[in-house]
Amino acid sequence: MSARPDADATGYTRRPVSPYSLARALGALFALSACSTAPAPALDAATPDAAPTDAATTDDATTDDAAPWRCPRARPAVPATVSRCNGSAALCDRRFDQVAYATTHNAMSSEERAFASPNQRFSITRQLRDGVRGLMLDVHPWRDESWLCHGTCLAGAQRHVEGLCEVAQFLDANPTDVVTIIYESYVPGAAVVADLRAVGLDEDALTQRAGDPWPTLGELVRGRRRLVVLTDRDDDAAPWYMNVWRYAQENPYAATTPAGLTCAQNRGGSTNALFILNHFLTAPLASPELAAMVNGAASLNDHARRCEQERMRRANFVTVDFYDVGDALSVVTGLNAR
């Protein structure tokens, strides 16, 4: 996520041209397939999950332009016995704010989806199957719809509803897992909420009053509220579409070297229960080589523990680029084992 400029009178945001956006636009010249009007690649076929899976994956969504778009879903029944949550029995009795979640920075911006200068290698579906439980998504207006883009949709784009369908189908296939979406939004909240409703995710979303104790993961599973939706804009669009900076705080996100990964207060009130640990390098763009410099266990554990001590908050959303490079998933497992 990055700072969002104010919206204009139309309700859409005017983003100033930055070197970062220009670099992505130039990269798009070498990825023109991302600009095609052809449908996005089909969702991943069912493959064995890295994390335990509770049900078979549902049919893939299609994007037939001749028919109304739909997201095939097979909602699971609430398990009679909830023996594990997010892959661990120990996490079921922990409150949502007492758990660490592997989180992908610019989750939609992946090599698999043909984004130029991507932040991740794999699609949202693959990320979730591998163990990611927090997704940072940027949503922009484009082609009269809401699209998942970063900086400019010319550098790569996926229809917002298609990305959401990947989340919805994962939740259907894994009835004891809890997922969080953290939006950086450049479209009105009503448009984002409409897409969430279009795939039925409003029925999975938690409504949490700021300042109240968070439910446990087990309570979220049993209550069928396994999606937490946080946004930086228009949180009045739905009661479960919640302002991230009323609930969370973060450290700075613009580090260019490992030494720049600090624990200083950035956005969000210092008393907010959730802590977003930004742990990625941008110099000037993300790359696997930069990720390899900081995604190792030593760097991640040091930064997480240092910030937990300084901020007196558990590192909840351990946010990285190229999560498959280094040890991000195993570090989060270790943080949850304490």
Can you give the CATH number for the domain in which 237 is found? 3.20.20.190
State the virtual CA torsion across 16, 232, 27, 164 in degrees, nearest 10.
Answer: -140
Tell me how many domains the chain contains: 1
How far apart CA 294 and CA 278 sit, in angstroms, is 11
Contact indicator for 96, 217 with CB cutoff of 8 Å: yes
CB proximity list for 234: less than 8 A, separation 6 or greater: 185, 188, 189, 190, 192, 241
Count of positions (residues) in the chain: 338
Mean pLDDT of 121-147: 98
Mean pLDDT of 222-249: 97
Look at 50-54, 141-145, 332-336 and tell me which has the smallest mean pLDDT: 50-54
Residue 29 lies in a domain: no
Residue 4 lies in a domain: no
Contact indicator for 276, 182 with CB cutoff of 8 Å: yes
Residue 108 lies in a domain: yes
pLDDT at 218 over 60: yes
pLDDT digits (tens, 9 = 90+) for 248-307: 999 999 999 999 999 999 999 999 999 999 999 999 999 999 999 999 999 999 999 999
Q: Where are the beta strands (DSSP E) in 186-238?
A: 227-231
Q: Where are the beta strands (DSSP E) in the chain?
A: 101-104, 134-142, 145-148, 158-159, 179-185, 227-231, 241-243, 248-250, 274-278, 317-320
Residue 262 lies in a domain: yes
| pLDDT value of residue 2 | 54
Both tokens assigned to 110: 């992946």
pLDDT at 51 over 90: no
How far apart CA 221 and CA 206 sit, in angstroms, is 11
Which pLDDT band, with edges at 50, 70 and 90, does 1 fall under?
Answer: low
Both tokens assigned to 258: 């490992």
pLDDT at 158 over 90: yes
Mean pLDDT of 232-258: 97
Residue 278 lies in a domain: yes
Please give the mean pLDDT across all residues of the chain. Answer: 85
Contact indicator for 121, 109 with CB cutoff of 8 Å: no
| Strand pairing report for 145-148 and 134-142 | antiparallel
Other residues' Cβ atoms within 10 Å of the Cβ of residue 64:
9
* Residue % of the chain over a pLDDT of 90: 77
CB proximity list for 210: less than 8 A, separation 6 or greater: 242, 246, 247
Other residues' Cβ atoms within 10 Å of the Cβ of residue 141:
18
**Position 61: which residue type?**
A
Residue 158 lies in a domain: yes
Asked whether the whole model's pTM tops 0.85, one would answer no
Residue 191 lies in a domain: yes
Residue 16 lies in a domain: no
Q: For tokens 């509220």, what's the residue?
A: 225
Which pLDDT band, with edges at 50, 70 and 90, does 103 fall under?
Answer: very high
Q: Which domain holds residue 263?
A: 89-336
pLDDT at 4 over 70: no
pLDDT at 214 over 90: yes
Which pLDDT band, with edges at 50, 70 and 90, does 96 fall under?
Answer: very high
Mean pLDDT of 132-150: 98
| pLDDT value of residue 68 | 61
Mean pLDDT of 129-155: 97
Which pLDDT band, with edges at 50, 70 and 90, does 44 fall under?
Answer: very low
HSE value, Cβ hemisphere, 13 Å, CA-based, for 324? 15
pLDDT at 321 over 50: yes
- By three-state DSSP, how is residue 328 classified? helix
